[in-house]
Amino acid sequence: MADGTFAGRTALVTGAGTGIGRAVSLRLLALGATVVGVGRRAEPLAETAALAGTDRFRHTSLNIRDREAADAFVAGLGGLDLLVNNAGGQFVAPATEISRRGFDAVVDLNLTAQAALVRAAYPGLAARRGRVVTLSLSAPERGIAGITHSAAARAGMAALTASLARRWRADGISLFCLAPGTVLTDGVGDELPAEVLARIVATTPLGRDTTLAEVAEWVAALGSGVADAVSGTLFEVDGGSGLVSAASLMGQEDR
C-alpha cells in the first residue's frame, strides 16, 4: 500500500489493544489514517498508543457486548471510512460440554455484538461510502470441531456480510470477512496449548502460520478500496488451512 493511502480517513478498530487489532491499527496509522481503537481494557490500548506515537490514534475502553454503550459510542464518531470488526474469540470445548451461557457468550461476541456494531456504523459508513472488514475463521460454514459455537457465529457473520453487501452497495458500502490461518498472537497462545498450535501450523497446506503483517496488509487493502470490484466475500488468507478438517487438527473426537 502506498504511503498516505488513508490520509484523511477514519477507521474504528475493535480489539485494538492486542494482537491483530494492534497490528491493523499500527498499519492503518502508518498509511495516514486516524484510528479509533476500542477494547475492554485501557492498559493494552494505551500500549498501542505508545507504539503508535501519534495523536491520530484515539482510544476508549468499550465492551462491544454492552449494546447501549456501543451504539452511543459509534453514533458519536460521525463519518466512518472503515470499521474493522476484530474483537472476537471463543474457548475450545467439545460441543456437549458447552453450557447455554457459554454458547450464548460466544455467539454474542462473534455475531450479535459485531452485527450490532455494523448496524450502528451504517449512517457513518454511508456518509463516507465506507467499508467493513470482519475478522473470521477459515471455512466456518464447513464446520470447526472444538469451537462449534464460534464456527456457527462466524458463519452467521459471513451470511450477514453477504446479505448487507447486496443491500448497502446502493450506499457505496463494501463489506468483507477476512479469515486468517493461525496467527501466533498472545490471544491464540492463551487459547490453545503450544503443541496443538504447532500441529495446526504443521498440517496447514503451506506449512506455516499467517503473519500479523500479512493480516494487517489485507485489512488495509480491503479497507482502501482496491477490492471494491468485490463485496460480501469471505477471504481465506490461511495457507490453505480451511481445506483441512479441524477435527483432525484437534486430534480429538468432538461430541
Ligand X SMILES: CCCCCCC/C=C/C(=O)SCCNC(=O)CCNC(=O)[C@H](O)C(C)(C)COP(=O)(O)OP(=O)(O)OC[C@H]1O[C@@H](n2cnc3c(N)ncnc32)[C@H](O)[C@@H]1OP(=O)(O)O
Ligand Y SMILES: NC(=O)C1=CN([C@@H]2O[C@H](COP(=O)(O)OP(=O)(O)OC[C@H]3O[C@@H](n4cnc5c(N)ncnc54)[C@H](OP(=O)(O)O)[C@@H]3O)[C@@H](O)[C@H]2O)C=CC1
Residue 34 near which of ligand X, ligand Y, none (CB within 5-8 Å, type-dependent): none
Distance, in Å, from the CA atom of 74 to the CA atom of 174, rounded to the nearest integer, reads 18
8 A C-beta contact, residue 30 and residue 1? no
67 binds, among ligand X, ligand Y, none (CB under 5 to 8 A by kind): none
180 makes contact, choosing from ligand Y, ligand X, none, with CB < 5 to 8 Å by partner type, with ligand Y
What track of x and - describes contact with ligand X for positions 157 through 196 (by CB under 6 A)?
------------------------------xx--x-----
Q: Which amino acid is at 13?
A: V
How far apart (Å, rounded) are the C-alpha atoms in residues 124 and 163? 19
- Subset of residues 115 to 144 that bind ligand Y, contact rule: CB under 6 A: 135, 137
Out of 130, 180, 232, 242, the only residue in the binding site for ligand Y (CB under 6 A) is 180
Q: Which stretch binds ligand X (CB under 6 A): 2-10, 74-82, 87-95, 230-238?
A: 87-95
- When binding is defined by CB under 6 A, the residue of 8, 43, 55, 101 that contacts ligand X is 101
Longest dimension (CA), the chain: 51
Give the one entry of ligand Y, ligand X, none that residue 86 binds, where binding means its C-beta sits below a cut-off of 5 to 8 angstroms depending on kind.
Answer: ligand Y
Rank residues 88 and 232 by Cβ distance to ligand Y and give the closer one.
Answer: 88
14 or 174: whose CB is closer to ligand Y? 14
- If we measure between CA atoms, which residue out of 127, 23, 119 comes closest to residue 70? 119
239 is a site residue for ligand Y (CB under 6 A): no
* Per-residue burial over 161-186, b = 16 or more CB atoms within 10 Å of its CB, e = otherwise: bbebbeebeeeebbbbbbbbbbbebe
- Among the listed residues 89, 94, 102, 123, the single contact to ligand Y using CB under 6 A: 89
**Using CB under 6 A, which residues numbered 121 to 150 contact ligand X?**
137, 144, 146-147
Interacting residue ranges for ligand X, rule: CB under 6 A: 89-93, 99, 101-102, 105-106, 109, 137, 144, 146-147, 187-188, 191, 246, 249-250
